[in-house]
Amino acid sequence: MHAMCLGFACMPRSGSARMRIAWGCSYTRNGAEFVWCLFRIFDINFIDLALKALTDLTIGRISISINFLLDVNLGLMGKEYPDSPKIHQMELKKRRVTHIVFVTGLCVLFYILGSWQNNTTLTLNSNSNLKKVECENDFPLSAIAKEETLDFEAHHQITLEETTSAIEKFPPCAPNLTEYTPCEDFSRGRKFPREKLAYRERHCPAKHELLLCLIPAPPKYKTPLSWPQSRDFAWYANIPHKELSIEKAVQNWIQVEGERFRFPGGGTMFPLGADAYIDDINALISLADGKIRTAIDTGCGVNVASFGAYLLKRDIITMSFAPRDTHEAQVQFALERGVPAMIGVMATRRLPYPARSFDMAHCSRCLIPWHDYDGLYLIEVDRVLRPGGYWILSGPPIRWKKYHRGWERTQEDLKKEQDSIEELAKRLCWKKVIEKDDLAIWQKPINHVECVESRRIFKTPHICKDHNADAAWYKEMEACITPLPEVSKLDEVAGGKVERWPERAFAIPPRIAVGSIPSLTPKKFEDDKKLWRDRVEYYNKIIPALSHGRYRNIMDMNAYLGGFAAALMKYPAWVMNTVPPNSDHDTLGVIYERGFIGTYHDWCEAFSTYPRTYDLIHANAIFSICQDRCDITYILLEMDRILRPEGAVIIRDTVDVLTKVQTITDRMRWKSKIMDHESGPFNPEKILVAIKTYWTFDASTQ
């Protein structure tokens, strides 16, 4: 019945519509569909008439069917009126009979032609169920997907051959913009105050400053190594910065070996490597029992996210963040290694994560002034820590008696700093678990019953009155304790207890179980799990490389409940789940309760990452959400910026939105196709699959 789209779904039903529908009858595959065509022509909608006509057609009594249609009072044949002459009635009836016989004859002719045409079937990558959508629309023919097979394998040695086209392509940006980060631009940041590092926060360009060009890859760019090899090695050509290997040579952060960087896993506080450092933590608090799954690392572990890289061996996923560096590019190195990271800084605004997100927070010589500004930064850590979560501190001022000379600070200064941190932790109602050697560990309480009572003793920080604890998009930090959900017992975990990993990924998240998100029920959660299992199975048919480990860093632009990330758990990949901050339902907290990571983000602005840092981008209805607020051209250009050469894109949306999208992607050096929905061709939602072609800036062609 898919072919009948040409005859029915894309045609109006007024005026000459009946003749057009008659042509559509040529695409029917059997008698039932043919009779349906006839019914559409004459507006017959009665089931008994349909059954009779179908029976007549099936046994070959077409003439009887026609006579039967003539007897139906449809307003197409003349009626007898008391004051009308008989001759006039007969002539009118003859004309109607002639008209109906003529149209029916055309239908029979077109049905025979259509039957002959339908003997040829369309195949796409040996999946006959993946058909093109080619209904009439208001967009140029160039917007319709071309019949070609998309190649998802890496071919970075191939040079892109430009072809002459009537479509104006987006030009490449200047070669000095290969590492351009629109919202963390140094020249723009200098206009903002240096106090509290406000100048290093997100400051996005105005509309007239937006670039209408494609960020080029550096010369000799290569497809990154596959995980787990990428954890220890990266191509020098992709991030041509040797500064870290020179400045941190003694600390063993990074080494250059021929065409590759090597990451030994060392660091200032990791003299024996990150793995041994994590073993020391594990000796103090268990990292292996599944209770700790999500972690936040302020400052990228000070050594290109090696802390987060080696925690992955223990099934702990870490959100590492650090500010945009003038030369060190730690976030860029982390993502090149296949380790989660974002550009970010502790400054004046809240971190873009919901309350109660992380099971563990870590700072290893991150140089954040925890005791300054009335404890503002440690209070923010308290907001994003789950009840019962841990804060781990190593580096200054911990173990100051041993290291004060190396840190070039006085003992008095370091002791004062540690005393201030200890006092602040007490006021936050944290309990110090242990301090041993280079490590100090505190634990957040599981609820605020005793903390509320302690405000009689500790006047500051007070409990916040604003109950929107999850609000974090461009929201200023507050020097007050974010309140935990109320409990009825002293030993009850505020907000609900999460399961251990990996059961946590598929258990009902506490936010849904207690009904804190309107209209989200356990049944809807279960339905969403099944939905995304089916969708990822379908994606594997479209993009076989997905199940082969081709894509490590994956961006989900509209993650909802994290179902896409959950369905990808069996693959060597991680997902950056983003949730729009202006969404009707704030579900990012649910994603963290499932044991995944993500961030709030408005896609009308650039994402806080370097160019070429994601292998695959998944966009579910994001253009329908954003098209009334901003130009989708800039969203697509941002997707191109953060997507690696030969990376893949999956966009789900209505067909009218996707055709608009494809008219833009055709100008971006992408190859794309529009596929049917996994449920079949009659679903109005379609899927656009695209590949970003490999190219680098070539001055000779500009």
Q: Mapped to the 3 state alphabet, what secondary structure does 600-649 carry? A: ECCCCCCCCCCCCCEEEEEEECHHHHHCCCCCHHHHHHHHHHHEEEEEEE
Q: Residue 66: which pLDDT band, with cuts at 50, 70 and 90? A: very low
User: Nearest CA to 320 among 302, 336, 329?
Assistant: 302
Percent of the chain's residues with pLDDT above 90: 67
The DSSP letter of residue 444 is: -
Model pLDDT, residue 582 = 86
Residue 170 has pLDDT above 90, yes or no: yes
State the CB neighbour count (10 A cutoff) for residue 442: 25
Residue 5 has pLDDT above 90, yes or no: no
CB 317 within 8 A of CB 305: no
Q: Which whole number is the average pLDDT over 477-498?
A: 97
Model pLDDT, residue 242 = 73
Do the domains spanning 271-454 and 503-701 agree at the CATH topology level? yes
Give the residue, 266 or 368, on which the prediction is more confident: 368
Residue 23 has pLDDT above 60, yes or no: no
pLDDT, tens digit, for every residue of 376-425?
999 999 999 999 999 999 999 999 999 999 999 999 999 999 999 999 99
Model pLDDT, residue 96 = 63
56-76: b or e for each residue (b if 16 or more CB lie within 10 Å)? Answer: bbeeeeeeebbeebeeeeeee
Residue 456 has pLDDT above 70, yes or no: yes
Tell how far CA 520 is from the center of its chain.
20
Decide: residue 86, CB within 10 A, 0-12 exposed, 13-18 middle, 19+ buried: exposed
CB 382 within 8 A of CB 484: no
Model pLDDT, residue 700 = 41
pLDDT, tens digit, for every residue of 263-282?
987 767 788 889 999 999 99
pLDDT, tens digit, for every residue of 75-115?
434 444 444 444 445 555 555 667 677 767 776 676 665 55
Q: What is the residue type of 543?
A: I
Helix axes 62-70, 86-117, angle to 10 degrees: 140
Q: Which whole number is the average pLDDT over 165-189?
A: 90
Model pLDDT, residue 2 = 43
Q: Write down the domain spans for the chain.
A: 4-117, 271-454, 503-701
User: Nearest CA to 673 among 656, 647, 651?
Assistant: 651
* The Cα angle at residue 40 between residues 38 and 46, in degrees rounded to 5: 90
Find all residues with CB under 8 Å of 452, minimum gap 6, and list them: 463
Find all residues with CB under 8 Å of 605, minimum gap 6, and list them: 182, 183, 202, 204
Distance between CA atoms of residues 551 and 543, nearest Å: 11
State the CB neighbour count (10 A cutoff) for residue 434: 12
Model pLDDT, residue 97 = 65
* The Cα angle at residue 494 between residues 491 and 495, in degrees rounded to 5: 140
Residue 46 has pLDDT above 70, yes or no: no
Distance between CA atoms of residues 612 and 615, nearest Å: 8
pLDDT, tens digit, for every residue of 291-329?
999 999 987 644 678 999 999 999 999 999 999 976 568
Which helix (H) or strand (E) segment holds residue 521: the answer is none
Window from 95-104, 156-165, 226-235, 572-581 with minimum mean pLDDT: 156-165
Please name the residue that has the structure tokens 């910065």: 241
Residue 13 has pLDDT above 50, yes or no: no
State the CB neighbour count (10 A cutoff) for residue 509: 28
The rounded mean pLDDT for the chain is: 83
Give the residue, 270 or 585, on which the prediction is more confident: 585
Evaluate if pTM is beyond 0.85. no
Residue 625 has pLDDT above 80, yes or no: yes
Topology given in CATH for the domain delimited by 271-454: Rossmann fold (3.40.50)
CATH code matching the domain that covers 503-701, chosen among 1.10.10.60, 3.40.50.300, 3.40.190.10, 3.40.50.150: 3.40.50.150
Assigned token pair, 661:
């999208």
Residue 15 has pLDDT above 70, yes or no: no
CB 225 within 8 A of CB 235: yes
State the CB neighbour count (10 A cutoff) for residue 301: 34
Decide: residue 275, CB within 10 A, 0-12 exposed, 13-18 middle, 19+ buried: middle
Model pLDDT, residue 152 = 63
| Torsion angle of C-alpha atoms 520, 525, 531, 535, degrees rounded to 10 | 100
Q: Residue 153: which pLDDT band, with cuts at 50, 70 and 90? A: low
Percent of the chain's residues with pLDDT above 70: 74
Residue 342 has pLDDT above 80, yes or no: yes
Model pLDDT, residue 330 = 86
Please name the residue that has the structure tokens 């200032």: 268
From residue 360, give the alpha-carbon distance in Å to each of 21, 342, 357, 383.
64, 17, 9, 12
Model pLDDT, residue 411 = 97
Distance between CA atoms of residues 428 and 683, nearest Å: 53
- In three-state secondary structure terms, 44 is coil
Give the residue, 491 or 164, on which the prediction is more confident: 491
